[in-house]
């Protein structure tokens, strides 16, 4: 193997740049040339392919986002689009790809491998932390720290005005962010997609005497909760509880940005470097991950299709501490 390519796809995550840096410098260490694909799968189709060297990735480890940019490609969902992408890969003499992203990225990579015969290794980069085959994904640690910092500030206002605040965090299908942020931020209730939300129970939570006496509360809501987002849940409670006037804050994309934490930089560096080593050892159609601090490989199929459950002990802890 003489030349590899690297790209980022799907939602950006803090630490992606650290992963790109690790891929490039590990590849150079082993005597490989590196091409960078701009704008993910869309860049593969449009031939947005550039040379990368050691200087290309200097001074990026501390930067959020991704220097290679990212996008979602509708054309890549078509067989014709993927054929065009494969043609461009071969035109540039790229023998293997490192794909940094989440489940959508790996879904595309799995199909791409099967149709083109190209070699692809995935690096898990998503703040949702919802991929099977790794304890943590790149960006998760930074995202929860960003959200907790915001909740700490909201708590000051909630305390000053004796208010209940519903804080919505990201997580359309997974509650990992909400659970960690809720416990770390001292929330009185945490609502996640993996657990059915009982509105009657929540009404009781805010109407029993001991709750009436409490000056303020924080409720953390994952955006994908079965009862809806924070606004919808707050409105349902307002209809049920006379005089109840909660405030809602949606943290949104602020959780994706910012300087990556030390842990995310270390994780991204380990996984990016491991991806290159696995390519050299002949692996393909797999994701590198870390389980119990050990590097492991998981097929794209398992990483995407197998469900990574939330920690039941953390759910119990959240109930106890509330």
The residues near 72 (Cβ < 8 Å, ≥ 6 apart) are: 9, 10, 40, 42, 104
| Sign for the pseudo-dihedral over CA of 146, 150, 153, 158 | negative
What pLDDT sits at residue 298? Answer: 97
* Rg from Cα positions in the chain: 22
Examine the residue annotation and report whether 225 is marked as an active-site residue of this protein: no
Let me know how many helices (H) and strands (E) the chain has, helices first. Answer: 12, 11
Lowest-confidence segment of 81-85, 155-159, 210-214 by average pLDDT = 210-214
Q: Which two tokens stand for residue 179?
A: 């659970």
DSSP character for 138? B
Residues 273, 19 contacting (CB under 8 angstroms)? no
Residues 256, 233 contacting (CB under 8 angstroms)? no
| Sign for the pseudo-dihedral over CA of 308, 117, 283, 265 | negative
110-125 pLDDT per residue, tens:
999 999 999 999 999 9
Q: Which of 12, 51, 103, 128 is catalytic?
A: 128
DSSP character for 10? S
28-38 pLDDT per residue, tens:
999 999 999 99
| Strand partners of residue 191 | 221
Coil, strand or helix at 279: helix
What pLDDT sits at residue 245? Answer: 86
The residues near 26 (Cβ < 8 Å, ≥ 6 apart) are: 272, 273, 276, 277
Q: Which two tokens stand for residue 252?
A: 């949104």
Q: How confident is the model at residue 213 (pLDDT cuts 50, 70, 90)?
A: very low
One DSSP character per residue, 38-98 reads TTHHHHHHTT-EEEE-TGGGTT-TT--S-TT-----SGGGSHHHHHHHHHHHHHTT--EEE
Q: How confident is the model at residue 141 (pLDDT cuts 50, 70, 90)?
A: very high
181-207 pLDDT per residue, tens:
999 999 989 999 999 988 888 888 887
Domains and CATH numbers, the chain: 3-139+260-305 (3.40.50.450), 140-256 (3.40.50.460)
């Amino acid at each position: 193997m003489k030349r590899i390519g690297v790209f980022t796809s799907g939602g950006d995550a803090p630490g992606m740049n650290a992963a790109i840096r690790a891929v490039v410098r590990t590849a150079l260490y082993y005597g490989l040339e590196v091409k960078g694909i701009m704008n993910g799968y869309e860049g593969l189709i449009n031939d947005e392919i550039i040379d990368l060297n050691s200087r290309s990735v200097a001074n990026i480890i501390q930067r959020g986002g991704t220097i290679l940019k990212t996008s979602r490609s509708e054309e890549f969902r078509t067989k014709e689009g993927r054929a065009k992408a494969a043609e461009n890969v071969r035109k540039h003499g790229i023998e293997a790809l490192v794909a940094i992203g989440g489940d959508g990225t790996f879904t595309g990579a799995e199909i791409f491998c099967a149709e083109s015969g190209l070699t692809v290794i995935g690096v898990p980069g998503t703040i949702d932390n919802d991929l099977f085959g790794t304890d943590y994904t790149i960006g998760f640690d930074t995202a929860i720290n960003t959200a907790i910092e915001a909740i700490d500030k909201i708590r000051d206002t909630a305390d000053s005005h004796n208010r209940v605040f519903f804080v919505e965090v990201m997580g359309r299908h997974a509650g990992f962010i909400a659970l960690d942020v809720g416990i770390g931020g001292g929330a009185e209730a945490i609502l996640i997609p993996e657990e059915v939300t009982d509105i009657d129970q929540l009404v009781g939570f805010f109407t029993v005497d001991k709750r009436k006496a409490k000056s303020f509360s924080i409720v953390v809501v994952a955006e994908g909760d079965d009862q809806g987002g924070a606004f919808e849940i707050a409105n349902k409670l307002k209809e049920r509880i006379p005089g109840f006037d909660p405030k809602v804050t949606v943290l949104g994309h602020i959780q994706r940005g910012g300087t990556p934490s030390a842990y995310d930089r270390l994780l991204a560096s380990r996984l990016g470097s491991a991806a290159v080593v696995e390519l050299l050892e002949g692996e393909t159609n797999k994701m590198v991950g870390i389980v119990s601090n050990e590097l492991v490989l998981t097929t794209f199929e398992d990483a995407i299709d197998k469900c990574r459950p939330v920690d039941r002990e953390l759910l119990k802890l959240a109930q106890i501490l509330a």
